[in-house]
Amino acid sequence: MTSRTCLSVILAAGEGTRMKSAMPKVLHPVAGLPMVAHVVKAAEASGADAIALVVGHGADAMRKAAEKLAPEADIFVQEKRLGTAHAVLAARAAIARGHDDILVMYGDTPLIDADVLLTAREKLANGAAVVVIGFRTDRPTGYGRLIEKDGKLAAIREEKDCTDEERRITYCNSGIMAMAGNHALALLDAVGNANAKGEYYLTDIVEIARAKGLDVVATEASFENALGINNRAELAAAEAIWQARRRRAAMLDGVTLIAPETVFFSYDTEIGPDTLVEPNVVFGPGVKIGSNVTVRGFSHFEQADVADGCQVGPYARLRPGAKLQEDVHVGNFVEVKNTTVERGAKANHLAYLGDGRVGAGANIGAGTIFCNYDGYRKFFTDIGAGAFVGSNSSLVAPVAIGDRAYVASGSVITEDVPEDALAFGRARQKTIPGKGKELRERFADAAKNKRSG
Ligand code: UD1
Ligand code: CA
């Protein structure tokens, strides 16, 4: 099986006008990843060693995006939209390279399952020339129907070409098809366009292969494999299915989700066992959470790395480049960006830690701000191990606080503080005995005179 080579042809020429978007349909994200990239990932997970992306005419945005999200893919342009077989043939040059297995999928079906593709490849390895992935539904309208004779797949009939009787069939074509590489071009080239839509139907290769005496099989999979996205309501529905699967997987992997339906993962979220996630938490792309972490409610993560034993939130925001080492505490209304917080350090309330380092065991008081930006450039704030930054301090970067140094509350620190030093960056307090009483009397008199006057 693994010795067989495999080309995956992904049809991504869909216009997607129903998305009402300036962006090509297949680039809309599910779980933070463009839907076509989900399809590419599934293909790769099933062992595809080459990817051919078929895009529509003039799809420059698509081409640019594809270079990023599937850099190894060959991109082919289908100049005119003449049907699914015609679209597959846009990748003729790739197919002609002689892969053992050819998988055809659609770029707008983000929930496609790699196991289903593997099953199709196994059937090719066992001698089938064409494998069709089917699904059963009570609402087959719009799908091609799988016509079986003597327990074998005889044809796929498009809705518009069906007889009334055929239209009642509930076994449908998912759109995923696998072909033996040595037959693929001959089958595709034999497809004509004499049908209700005047299109070159990929589905016609079933009858063509049967007529040649080749082995054609259908295999059933779940409906999600065929779930194509045409508008943003369907996009949200796919997202919901994806999230439900991911939450369940996280829980089965040992993560406690108190209210799973309120926790949102990204395609690449990593999260360790014995981590507890409270309600209303969002994991954006690029997040890695260790084990034994407590993520309290309403926290938001993006490209952040949280090591074992940390406590985060409630209401914490970890932005790109936030790195919390073991046992760090980051509390409510603390924002961390591009900053490493070393082992055991604490920033428990109301702080902005941007472009810096917080040394091991340091304590960041409430209201501490790393003033990292002068309107043009960003600067670094370095806090030494065991340092104590008093509440409501502004650290004007670039600035360094030495190990074990103290910064007095309310300071504006503009110069480096050596280790073990104490720095005040504020006016000294002045206390005048009796002056409070005198003021109070003066104000009371003024108010009385105003009322009587
Ligand atoms: C197709 C199948 C149908 C199946 C259904 C599953 C055919 C003839 N029909 O029907 O049996 O049940 O999918 O959703 O294959 N595309 C191109 N270029 C084209 C035409 C289509 O790239 O010229 C792409 C589309 O962008 C889309 C996919 O192929 O991603 C399917 O095309 P679509 O027109 O939606 O086919 P259906 O009529 O839905
Ligand atoms: Ca469709």
Boundary (domain end) residue, out of 191, 226, 261: 226
Q: What is the CATH number of the domain that holds 252?
A: 2.160.10.10
Q: Which atom of ligand 1 is nearest to the CA of 143?
A: 12
Extract the runs of DSSP E, i.e. beta strands, from 107-215.
130-136, 145-149, 152-157, 171-180
Measure the CA–CA gap between 264 and 289, rounded to whole angstroms: 14
Mutate to test the pocket of ligand 1, among 84, 141, 161, 167 (most ligand atoms within 8 A of CB): 84
Q: Which atom of ligand 1 is nearest to the CA of 106?
A: 30
Output the pLDDT for position 16: 65
Measure the CA–CA gap between 234 and 18, rounded to whole angstroms: 11
Ligand nearest to C-alpha 13: 1
Are residues 188 and 320 part of one domain?
Answer: no
**Terminal alpha carbon distance of the chain:** 101
Measure the CA–CA gap between 191 and 82, rounded to whole angstroms: 12
Q: Is the peptide bond before 314 cis (omega within 30 degrees of 0)?
A: yes
> Is residue 439 in some structural domain?
no
Boundary (domain end) residue, out of 226, 258, 289: 226
Residue 125 CA to ligand 1 center (angstroms) comes to: 26
Q: Using DSSP, state whether 198 is helix, strand or coil.
A: coil
> Is residue 235 in some structural domain?
no
> Is residue 370 in some structural domain?
yes
Q: Whose CA is nearest to atom 3 of ligand 1?
A: 144
DSSP state, 88? H
As to burial, measured by CB atoms within 10 angstroms (0-12 exposed, 13-18 middle, 19+ buried), residue 16 is buried
Residue 228 CA to ligand 2 center (angstroms) comes to: 6
Are residues 205 and 294 part of one domain?
Answer: no
As to burial, measured by CB atoms within 10 angstroms (0-12 exposed, 13-18 middle, 19+ buried), residue 194 is exposed
Residue 175 CA to ligand 2 center (angstroms) comes to: 9
* Residues 6+ away with beta carbon under 8 Å from 274: 254, 255, 256, 291, 292
H helix or E strand, kind and range, residue 118: helix 114-125
Ligand nearest to C-alpha 201: 1
Are residues 279 and 220 part of one domain?
Answer: no
Extract the runs of DSSP E, i.e. beta strands, from 107-266.
130-136, 145-149, 152-157, 171-180, 216-220, 256-257, 263-264
Among 332, 116, 97, which residue's Cα sits nearest to residue 219? 116
Are residues 341 and 285 part of one domain?
Answer: yes
- Amino acid sitting at position 118: L
Among 262, 258, 310, which residue's Cα sits nearest to residue 283? 262
If you write DSSP's letter for every residue of 366-407 in order, what string do you get?
TT-EEE-B-SS-B--EEE-TT-EE-TT-EEESSEEE-TT-EE
Q: Which atom of ligand 1 is nearest to the CA of 87?
A: 18
> Is residue 452 in some structural domain?
no
Measure the CA–CA gap between 113 and 38, rounded to whole angstroms: 9
Residues in the chain where the model's pLDDT stays below 50:
none
Are residues 271 and 222 part of one domain?
Answer: no
Residue 421 CA to ligand 1 center (angstroms) comes to: 71
Helix axes 60-69, 35-45, angle to 10 degrees: 40
Q: Which atom of ligand 1 is nearest to the CA of 108?
A: 30
Token code pair at residue 235: 């996009």
Q: How many residues does the chain have?
A: 453
pLDDT tens digits, one per residue of 359-410: 999 999 999 999 999 999 999 999 999 999 999 999 999 999 999 999 999 9
Are residues 173 and 283 part of one domain?
Answer: no
Determine the Cα angle at 244 with ends 242 and 247, to 5°: 105
C-alpha distance from residue 279 to each of 5, 240, 264 (Å): 45, 17, 10
Are residues 276 and 161 part of one domain?
Answer: no
Domain that holds residue 249: 245-423
> Is residue 443 in some structural domain?
no
> Is residue 101 in some structural domain?
yes
- The pTM (predicted TM-score) of the whole model is 0.93
Are residues 190 and 270 part of one domain?
Answer: no
Are residues 353 and 269 part of one domain?
Answer: yes
Are residues 294 and 218 part of one domain?
Answer: no
Token code pair at residue 264: 């949102």
Specify whether 86 is catalytic: no
Q: Which atom of ligand 1 is nearest to the CA of 83?
A: 23
> b/e map of 223-242 (b: 16 or more CB within 10 Å)?
ebbbbbbeeeeebeebbeeb
320 neighbors 285 (Cβ within 8 angstroms): no
Measure the CA–CA gap between 53 and 66, rounded to whole angstroms: 8
> Is residue 451 in some structural domain?
no
Q: What is the CATH number of the domain that holds 102?
A: 3.90.550.10
Are residues 256 and 143 part of one domain?
Answer: no
Ligand nearest to C-alpha 85: 1
Mutate to test the pocket of ligand 1, among 18, 81, 106, 224 (most ligand atoms within 8 A of CB): 106
Output the pLDDT for position 211: 97
Residue 115 CA to ligand 2 center (angstroms) comes to: 22
107 neighbors 87 (Cβ within 8 angstroms): no
Residue 116 CA to ligand 2 center (angstroms) comes to: 19
Are residues 200 and 110 part of one domain?
Answer: yes
- Amino acid sitting at position 83: G
Indicate the number of domains in the chain: 2
Ligand nearest to C-alpha 132: 1
> Is residue 195 in some structural domain?
yes
H helix or E strand, kind and range, residue 63: helix 60-69
Does the CA dihedral 437-443-446-450 come out positive or negative? negative
Q: Taking CB atoms and a 6 Å cutoff, what residues make up the pocket around ligand 1?
A: 11, 13-14, 54, 78, 81-84, 86-87, 106-108, 143-144, 156, 158, 172-173, 175, 201-203, 226, 228
Q: Whose CA is nearest to atom 37 of ligand 1?
A: 143
* Residues 6+ away with beta carbon under 8 Å from 369: 351, 352, 393, 394, 395
C-alpha distance from residue 100 to each of 19, 31, 49, 67, 112 (Å): 36, 33, 11, 25, 22
Boundary (domain end) residue, out of 181, 199, 226: 226
Output the pLDDT for position 2: 61
If you write DSSP's letter for every residue of 304-353 in order, what string do you get?
EEE-TT-EE-SS-EE-TTEEE-TT-EEEEEEEEEEEEE-TT-EEEEEEEE
As to burial, measured by CB atoms within 10 angstroms (0-12 exposed, 13-18 middle, 19+ buried), residue 438 is exposed
Token code pair at residue 208: 């063509």
Among 38, 57, 300, 349, the active-site one is 349
Output the pLDDT for position 157: 97
